[in-house]
Amino acid sequence: MGPLIPQGIIGMEWDLVFALLIGIAFGYVLESAGFSSSRRLAGVFYGYDFTVLRVFFTAGVTAMVGVFAMNYLGWIDMSLVYVNPTFIWPAIVGGVVMGFGFILGGYCPGTSVTAAAIGKVDAMVFLIGIFLGITLYGEAFPLIEEFSVSGNLGRLFIFDSLGISAGWFAFLLIAIALIAFGVTAMIEAKVDPENGLADTKGTSYFLPISIALLMGVVLIFTPFKSITGVNEIDKEQLQDEILAGSHYVHPDEVAFKLLNDYHPATLVDVRSRSDAAEFSLPGSVNIPIEQITRKRWREVLSPKGEKVILYSNGTALAEKAWIAARRMGFKNIYVMEGGLNGLFDILENNTMPNNLKMEAEFAYRFRERAKKAFREGALEAKKAEPSPKIDFSETAAARGGC
């Protein structure tokens, strides 16, 4: 139901309702295209009617363009779209069986339901054959189970197997569809001049063909990858920022934020709910890393004029969350260097500097003040649900790799 449910436009409870409405609309389209006629459907194999080919090409191109557009706009996440793994040998055998069934019966599974719904007896007989075949396959499955998963090529896209980009594949598919439309129209005009497309002579198709090809050219330059919005930054830029290390903030800055309410920064705890419930820095928002890309947190991650500082026990988990948030295009996103472990280590191991340089002495005194605030419980969590005051002397540093 993307993008309606993932984007929060409708709730999960509407899933089956919309599925039913889409199913009814799909059946209506099949009937309008003449797919309830076994003669028309089988015509593609005998060369006198290519309606099936044209409709399938149109549906494929329309779905492809829609997926490209919604992926680019961030309405769907292609990494979450399930793609059936390719089992090459079962696919070949299944295609042969399906093809013979289509030729002999005049229907495929979907069109047989459409025809049966309007009372066609041959379609009803075809449906009975489908159910018998399903039952036979289920009973014989233990014997062919090993073959059913043979030749596993995994989650394979055609453009990957051809070694070209998704955009170029889209352009080629549109071009092939246009050529197929023209060739099949000429074949029909020769085979059946009266019922073919001979009466369309003189009609100009220059404008729709030009629009379709222009759309294909646009798709060549449209990125087809798992993105979450049009503001997503390029991976090369993200890599440069990671190597520069400019996205880290020192624990002293976080401590300063905790001691001074006027300091503009939003603290985000990316650990699990259970870990955050045991201990979390005062005033921080808990956004588990698996939820960092959800729409509900966009306002939290993009406050006006404030830094957003992500933290976890160490640095690794917060680093992953930062990469996801930064890739989505959020700005002013930072990671607390060393995490909670780093913060507590600095406060615990704070020692008076040997030299009395002003900067070193200032850092020492500031950390002593922060340590005292933790110990005395002067910092209270500013959460919707009240949490106990923090007693630093009794709170062990959060440990863990991430």
In 3D space, the residue among 221, 224, 223, 234 whose CA is nearest the CA of residue 328 turns out to be 234
In the chain, domain spans: 12-220, 235-394
Q: What is the mean pLDDT of residues 143-160?
A: 88
Note the pTM of the prediction, 2 decimals: 0.56
C-alpha distances (whole Å) from 289 to each of 175, 310, 322 are: 43, 10, 9
Q: What is the pLDDT of residues 181-218, one digit of tens each?
A: 999 988 888 887 766 554 555 567 888 899 999 999 99
Q: Answer with the residue of higher pLDDT: 222 or 170.
A: 170
Hey, how many other C-beta atoms are within 10 angstroms of the C-beta on 273? Answer: 10
Q: Answer with the residue of higher pLDDT: 6 or 317.
A: 317
> Can you give the pLDDT at residue 345?
79
The pLDDT of residue 393 is above 70: no
Contact 248, 333 (CB under 8 A): no
C-alpha distances (whole Å) from 105 to each of 85, 135, 334, 353 are: 28, 19, 63, 89
Percent of the chain at pLDDT > 70 equals: 78
Q: How far apart are CA 157 and CA 317, in angstroms?
A: 31
Selected from 3.40.50.970, 3.40.250.10, 3.10.450.350, 3.30.70.2190, the CATH number assigned to the domain covering 235-394 reads 3.40.250.10
Hey, how many other C-beta atoms are within 10 angstroms of the C-beta on 114? Answer: 22
In 3D space, the residue among 93, 105, 88 whose CA is nearest the CA of residue 37 turns out to be 105
Contact 347, 370 (CB under 8 A): yes
Which residues have CB under 8 Å from 263's CB, separation 6+? Answer: 256, 257
- Adjacency order of strands within the sheet including 285-286: 248-249, 333-336, 307-311, 265-269, 285-286
> Can you give the pLDDT at residue 388?
36
Which DSSP string corresponds to 108-131? Answer: -HHHHHHHHHTT-HHHHHHHHHHH
Q: What is the mean pLDDT of residues 313-320?
A: 89
Q: How far apart are CA 398 and CA 344, in angstroms?
A: 8
In 3D space, the residue among 24, 40, 195 whose CA is nearest the CA of residue 107 turns out to be 40
154 Ramachandran zone, left/alpha/beta (phi>0; psi -120 to 50) = left
- In the chain, what's the furthest Cα-to-Cα distance? 102
User: Residue 81 has what DSSP assignment?
Assistant: S
Q: What is the mean pLDDT of residues 288-315?
A: 84
Task: Tell me which residue has tokens 């919005």.
Answer: 229
The pLDDT of residue 360 is above 70: no
Q: Environment class of residue 355 by beta-carbon count within 10 Å: exposed (0-12), middle (13-18) or buried (19+)?
A: exposed
User: Residue 266 has what DSSP assignment?
Assistant: E
Contact 196, 183 (CB under 8 A): no
